[in-house]
Amino acid sequence: MNMKANAALEISHLQAWYGESHILHNVNILVQPGEVVTLLGRNGAGRTTTLRAIMGLTGARKGSIKVNGVEAIGLPTHKIAHLGVGYCPEERGIFSSLSTEENLMLPPQLATGEKGMSVEEIYQMFPNLEERKHSQGTRLSGGEQQMLAVARILRTGARLLLLDEISEGLAPVIVQGLARMITTLKAKGYTIVMVEQNFRFAAPLADRFYVVEHGQIVETFAASELGAKMPVLTELLGV
């Protein structure tokens, strides 16, 4: 009998469309609980679309997307979220007219039975956010907004985090803070799928890498193979 525990995320033969545009052609990704996986690729490769397809935010989808063993390909977005998935889009989605704390409290707890982080735990992890808890969303720096966007997801009880380019446009010192955040979340057992353009940020954090090109996975390798894969990566990504 196969006693294998469910993968946190198992994507097989995923295809996705925006209207008539066929964007994802054959995406296969397997993520075990507690792993940090990074999707690399050139601009327009289909990394954001992969995250959006997991959440049911593209047009038509075909293939299979299992979250903790549950088939999500036919589910609407809110039901997918309730499987324990938290999506942090590139545009962060902080409400400018609400305070930090109001933004934090906005998304409801998920029905997974997993308790999300308490506000106290979140402020322990992000002391900046506590200092800024009464500040309006628009008054936060880019780094603070990014941390708030992730913190808001942690409160919902999501254990699988889909993070799109969280380091983008942020100063190196802030990016270092985000790297520490990822390390802390990994130590707490979160499963993380990150899309990253900043290879130097992603390289030391990920357990495994996938390279997306023209809506397909063209390479996959473990962190231990990174050195050996550098020539291929240079060719595929220009890193």
Binding site for Mg ion (CB under 5 A): 48
Q: How far is the CB of 21 from ligand ATP (least distance, A)?
A: 5
Proportion of the chain in helix, strand, coil states, percent, rounded to 5: 35, 25, 40
Instruction: List helix spans (H) across the chain.
Output: 47-54, 77-81, 100-105, 119-125, 127-131, 142-156, 172-187, 199-202, 226-237
Tokens of 44: 């327009």
What is the rounded CA–CA span in Å between residue 190 and residue 192?
6
What is the rounded CA–CA span in Å between residue 229 and residue 220?
10
Q: Which does 21 bind (CB under 5 to 8 A by kind): Mg ion, ligand ATP, none?
A: ligand ATP
Q: Which of residues 1-40 bind ligand ATP (CB under 6 A)?
A: 18, 21, 23
The single residue among 11, 29, 37, 49 that binds ligand ATP, judged by CB under 6 A, is 49
- Mapped onto helix, strand or coil, the DSSP state of residue 110 is coil
The single residue among 1, 3, 4, 43 that binds ligand ATP, judged by CB under 6 A, is 43
Tokens of 58: 């593209």
Q: How far is the CB of 163 from ligand ATP (least distance, A)?
A: 12
The single residue among 6, 22, 26, 44 that binds ligand ATP, judged by CB under 6 A, is 44
Q: Which residue, 102 or 213, has its beta carbon nearer to Mg ion?
A: 213
Q: How far is the CB of 120 from ligand ATP (least distance, A)?
A: 35
Q: Which does 27 bind (CB under 5 to 8 A by kind): Mg ion, ligand ATP, none?
A: none
The single residue among 41, 56, 137, 143 that binds ligand ATP, judged by CB under 6 A, is 41
Q: How far is the CB of 44 from ligand ATP (least distance, A)?
A: 4
Should residue 157 be labelled a site residue for ligand ATP when binding is judged by CB under 6 A? no
Give the 3-state secondary structure of 49-85.
HHHHHHCCCCCCEEEEEEECCEECCCCCHHHHHCCCE
Of the candidates 51, 118, 38, the one whose C-alpha atom is nearest the C-alpha of residue 91 is 51
Q: Which does 167 bind (CB under 5 to 8 A by kind): ligand ATP, Mg ion, none?
A: none
Residues that bind ligand ATP (CB under 6 A): 18, 21, 23, 41, 43-49
